[in-house]
């Protein structure tokens, strides 16, 4: 199946070839960072908890790299506590609400995670994160501690509050992801790599986080329901099913797909803000750090739209497609072209008999128009280049065999 994917998408094969030619393996990158001791262990944890994030963080400008690595690990520790269903409710809320204080306490660790928590080791050795956090400049510490405090309070609230309304859905996503956008934007500004306005216009930063979080929540519905939880707001799924289990059942498939499409539409509304945010980022490594997750998100949400497989399994974009997105997320024009292409794909999937048709069409039309008016050279063509690359490949192959067969004549 993987071979067929490469054949059907030759530009992905080409992108993968050049990506691996230009990028060192993660372990070599860590060596090149020239870190040691506790910070080396922190980068080890970064690799353990998220290899995809580790790659882009390690490519950041040195003025931001360690600070964002530690910011990520602190929030990962907070998230590990939130996800742990074995911690009693009252104790969990206390830990979440006080986590911004423990990051200042040398020697603090947590060894009571449940047996199924994959990132438990991070909390067991959390003292190394604390040690390095305390070495950061004070202005970096202040931003990280403030976001940790606000996120912990929000997580604590939703340990006993269900996501029912669209307002609570937006609020929950703000606490767990929008605040990450706030914190990163403030760190970009504090580092002086980006203009101070990036750390002040936090509405756009919030949308960056919400688009990522809502895409993940939409995609993960099957896994979450089977785990006994659901982050889809009842204001949406309650229109299509009486229980979360009914939502993903095959007997309710038509209504389940309608609910899925409404969730996708809710996420798609953040795309204009995402492109506006990326347009203000100037430093190349910061741009890639911000852009790569967003191009992955639009690829994922377009894949999920009107796709019944989402209700049965955890769907993911192809590895080749992911590598292509990573390799092409270098500048705003390239990212706009990627978004435009995925909007074209979405347009083809958005049939008139779909209840979300009008809303999705409005988002597509407005965003494509905005891209066309701001993109150098105007709107991209709908021609995907896959066919051109495939034709060139076949011509080369035919020429090779012709040369081989006629060599003896």
The set of catalytic residues is 172, 219, 229, 289
Phi and psi, residue 312, nearest 5°: -110, -20
CA distance linking residue 112 with residue 28, whole number of Å = 34
Q: What are 201's two structure tokens?
A: 């216009």
Helix, strand, or coil (residue 9): coil
Q: How far is CA 202 from CA 140, 181, 277, 386, in A?
A: 17, 8, 10, 38
Task: Say if residues 320 and 15 touch (Cβ distance below 8 Å).
Answer: yes
- Give every CB contact of residue 342 below 8 A, 6+ residues apart in sequence: 298, 299, 302
Q: Contact at 8 Å (CB) between 248 and 256?
A: yes
**From residue 364, how far is each of 177, 205, 360, 367 by CA, in Å?**
24, 21, 6, 5
Give 47's contacts (C-beta < 8 A, 6+ positions apart): 26, 30, 54
Instruction: Please give the Cα distance from 366 to 373 (Å, whole number).
Output: 11
Query: Residues of 239-259 as b/e, b for ≥16 C-beta within 10 angstroms?
Result: ebbeebeebbeeebeebbbbb
CA distance 264 to 369: 21
For 79-181, list the strands marked E by DSSP: none
Cα distances from 9 to residues 5, 22, 383, in angstroms, run 6, 21, 14
Could you give the CA distance from residue 296 to residue 55 in angstroms, rounded to a whole number? 15
């Amino acid at each position: 199946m993987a071979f067929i994917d490469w054949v059907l998408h030759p530009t992905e094969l080409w992108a993968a070839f050049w990506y691996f030619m230009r990028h060192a393996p993660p372990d070599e990158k860590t060596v090149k960072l020239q870190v040691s001791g506790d910070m080396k262990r922190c980068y080890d944890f970064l690799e353990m908890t998220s290899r995809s994030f580790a790659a882009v963080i390690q490519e950041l400008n040195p003025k931001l790299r360690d600070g964002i690595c530690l910011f990520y690990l602190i929030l990962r520790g907070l998230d590990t506590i939130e996800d742990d269903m074995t911690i009693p409710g009252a104790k969990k809320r206390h830990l979440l609400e006080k986590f911004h204080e423990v990051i200042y306490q040398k020697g603090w660790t947590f060894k009571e995670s449940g047996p199924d928590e994959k990132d438990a080791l991070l909390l067991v050795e959390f003292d190394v994160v604390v040690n390095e956090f305390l070495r950061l400049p004070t202005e970096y510490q202040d931003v990280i501690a403030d976001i940790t405090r606000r996120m912990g309070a929000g997580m604590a609230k939703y340990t006993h509050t269900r996501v029912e309304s669209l307002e609570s859905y937006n609020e929950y996503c703000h606490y767990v992801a929008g605040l990450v956008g706030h914190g990163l934007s403030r760190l970009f500004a504090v580092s002086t790599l980006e203009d101070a306005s990036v750390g002040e216009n936090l509405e756009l930063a919030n949308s960056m986080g919400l688009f990522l979080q809502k895409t993940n929540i939409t995609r993960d519905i099957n896994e979450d329901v089977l785990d006994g939880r659901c982050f889809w707001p009842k204001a949406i799924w309650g229109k299509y099913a009486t229980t979360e289990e009914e939502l993903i059942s095959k007997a309710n498939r038509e209504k389940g797909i309608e609910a899925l499409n409404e969730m996708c539409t809710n996420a798609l509304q953040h795309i204009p803000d995402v492109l506006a945010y990326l347009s203000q980022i100037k430093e190349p490594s910061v741009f890639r750090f911000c852009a790569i997750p967003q191009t992955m998100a639009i690829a994922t949400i377009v894949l999920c739209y009107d796709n019944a497989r989402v209700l049965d399994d955890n769907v993911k974009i192809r590895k080749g497609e992911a590598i292509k997105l990573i390799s092409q997320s270098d500048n705003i024009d390239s990212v706009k072209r990627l978004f435009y292409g995925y909007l074209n794909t979405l347009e083809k999937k958005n049939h008139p008999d779909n209840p979300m048709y009008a809303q999705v069409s409005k988002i597509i039309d407005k965003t494509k128009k905005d891209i066309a008016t701001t993109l150098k050279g105007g709107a991209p063509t709908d021609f995907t280049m896959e066919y051109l690359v495939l034709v060139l490949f076949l011509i080369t192959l035919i020429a090779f065999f012709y040369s081989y067969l006629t060599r003896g004549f």
